[in-house]
Amino acid sequence: MSTITVPAEVPPVSDDVEQLHKAFEGWGTNEGLIIEILAHRNADQRKLIRHTYAETYKEDLLKALEKELTSDFERIILLWTLDPPERDAFLANEATKKGAKSNHILAEIASTRSSQDLLLAKKAYHLRYQKSMEEDVAHTTTGDFRKLLWPLVTSYRYEGDEVDMSLAKTEAKLLHDKITEKCYNDDDFIRIITTRSKPQINATLNHYKNEFGQDINKDLKADPKDEFLAILRATIKGLTYPVKYFEKRLRLAIEKTGTDESALSRIVATRAEFDMKIIKEEYKKRSSVSLDQAIAKDTRGDYEDMLLALVGTTES
Amino acid sequence: MSTITVPAEVPPVSDDVEQLHKAFEGWGTNEGLIIEILAHRNADQRKLIRHTYAETYKEDLLKALEKELTSDFERIILLWTLDPPERDAFLANEATKKGAKSNHILAEIASTRSSQDLLLAKKAYHLRYQKSMEEDVAHTTTGDFRKLLWPLVTSYRYEGDEVDMSLAKTEAKLLHDKITEKCYNDDDFIRIITTRSKPQINATLNHYKNEFGQDINKDLKADPKDEFLAILRATIKGLTYPVKYFEKRLRLAIEKTGTDESALSRIVATRAEFDMKIIKEEYKKRSSVSLDQAIAKDTRGDYEDMLLALVGTTES
Q: What angle do CA A25, A62, A300 make, to 5 degrees?
A: 75
Contacts of B144 (CB under 8 A, 6+ apart): B184, B185, B228
Check whether B82 has a pLDDT greater than 60.
yes
What's phi and psi for B7, nearest 5 deg?
-60, 150
Residue A217, Cβ density class (10 Å: 0-12 exposed, 13-18 middle, ≥19 buried): middle
pLDDT band at residue B236 under the 50/70/90 scheme = very high
The Cα A122–Cα B53 span in angstroms is 38
Q: How many CB pairs under 8 A join A and B?
A: 78
Q: Give the count of alpha carbons within 13 A of B216, CB side only.
A: 30
The Cα B179–Cα B217 span in angstroms is 11
Cβ pair B158:A131 closer than 8 A: yes
Is A274 marked as binding a ligand? Answer: no
Residue range A112-122, pLDDT digits in tens: 999 999 999 99
Is A90 marked as binding a ligand? Answer: no
Domains by residue range for chain A, with CATH: 13-69 (1.10.220.10), 84-154 (1.10.220.10), 165-240 (1.10.220.10), 243-311 (1.10.220.10)
The residue in chain A having the minimum alpha-carbon distance to the alpha carbon of residue B125 is: A158
Which of A84-88, A103-107, A286-290, B50-54 is the least confident region? A286-290
What local confidence, expressed as pLDDT, does residue B314 receive? 73
The residue in chain B having the minimum alpha-carbon distance to the alpha carbon of residue A138 is: B191
- Which of B185, B167, B157, B151 has the alpha carbon at shortest distance from A149? B151
For A226, which DSSP code?
A: -
Per-residue CA distances from A258 to A72, A73, A170, A265, B155 (Å): 13, 16, 46, 14, 40
SS3 for A149?
A: helix
Question: Helix/strand/coil (H, E, C) string of chain B?
Answer: CCCCCCCCCCCCHHHHHHHHHHHHCCCCCCHHHHHHHHCCCCHHHHHHHHHHHHHHHCCCHHHHHHHHCCHHHHHHHHHHHCCHHHHHHHHHHHHHHHHHHHHHHHHHHHHHCCHHHHHHHHHHHHHHHCCCHHHHHHHHCCHHHHHHHHHHHHCCCCCCCCCCHHHHHHHHHHHHHHHHCCCCCCHHHHHHHHHCCHHHHHHHHHHHHHHHCCCHHHHCCCCCCCHHHHHHHHHHHHHHCHHHHHHHHHHHHHHCCCCCHHHHHHHHHHHCCCCHHHHHHHHHHHCCCCHHHHHHHHCCHHHHHHHHHHHCCCCC
Check whether B315 has a pLDDT greater than 70.
no
What local confidence, expressed as pLDDT, does residue A315 receive? 60
Measured from the Cβ of residue B160, the count of other Cβ atoms closer than 10 Å reads 13
Cβ pair A158:B132 closer than 8 A: yes
What local confidence, expressed as pLDDT, does residue A198 receive? 98
pLDDT band at residue B258 under the 50/70/90 scheme = confident
Binding site per annotation, positions of B for Ca(2+): 24, 26, 28, 68, 254, 256, 258, 296, 298-299, 304
- Helices then strands (H, E): number in chain A? 20, 0
- For testing contact with chain B, the best of A93, A129, A131 (most B CBs within 10 A): A131
Inter-residue contact B81 to B46 (CB < 8 Å): yes
Check whether B316 has a pLDDT greater than 70.
no
What local confidence, expressed as pLDDT, does residue B43 receive? 97
Residues of B with CB under 8 A from a CB of A: 119, 122, 126, 130-132, 134-135, 138-139, 146, 150-151, 154-160, 162, 187, 191, 195-197
Cα torsion angle, A246, A249, A252, A255, sign: negative
Residue of B130, B135, B146 with shortest CB distance to A160: B130
Inter-residue contact A93 to A129 (CB < 8 Å): yes
Residue range B39-68, pLDDT digits in tens: 999 999 999 999 999 999 999 999 999 999
Residues of A with CB under 8 A from a CB of B: 119, 122, 126, 130-132, 134-135, 138-139, 146, 150-151, 154-160, 162, 187, 191, 195-197
SS3 for A214?
A: coil
Check whether A314 has a pLDDT greater than 80.
no
Is A105 marked as binding a ligand? Answer: no
b/e code A44-72 from CB counts within 10 Å (16+ = b): ebbbebbebbbeeeeeebbebbeebbeeb
What local confidence, expressed as pLDDT, does residue B257 receive? 87
Q: Work out the percent of chain A whose per-residue pLDDT is above 70.
A: 99
What local confidence, expressed as pLDDT, does residue B188 receive? 97
Check whether A153 has a pLDDT greater than 70.
yes
Residue range B163-199, pLDDT digits in tens: 999 999 999 999 999 999 999 999 999 999 999 999 9
Average pLDDT (A198-222) is 96
Average pLDDT (A45-68) is 96
b/e code A6-43 from CB counts within 10 Å (16+ = b): eeeeeeebeebbbebeebbeeeebbbeebbbbbbbbeb
SS3 for A313?
A: coil
Per-residue CA distances from B187 to A104, A105, A183, B128 (Å): 22, 23, 19, 32
Check whether B85 has a pLDDT greater than 80.
yes
Contacts of A106 (CB under 8 A, 6+ apart): A92, A95, A96, A137, A141, A149, A152, A153
Entry pTM:
0.94
Cβ pair B160:A187 closer than 8 A: no
Average pLDDT (B246-274) is 95
Residues on chain B touching A122 (C-beta within 8 angstroms): 156
To the nearest whole Å, the CA of A9 is away from the closest chain B CA by 39
Residues on chain A touching B191 (C-beta within 8 angstroms): 135, 138-139, 150
Residue range A189-202, pLDDT digits in tens: 999 999 999 999 99
pLDDT band at residue A15 under the 50/70/90 scheme = very high
Cβ pair A195:B130 closer than 8 A: no
What local confidence, expressed as pLDDT, does residue B292 receive? 96
What local confidence, expressed as pLDDT, does residue B238 receive? 98
Q: Work out the percent of chain B whose per-residue pLDDT is above 90.
A: 94
B5 residue type, one letter? T
The Cα A170–Cα A258 span in angstroms is 46
To the nearest whole Å, the CA of B131 is away from the closest chain A CA by 5
Region for B249 from its dihedrals, namely left if φ exceeds 0, alpha if ψ lies in -120 to 50, beta otherwise: alpha
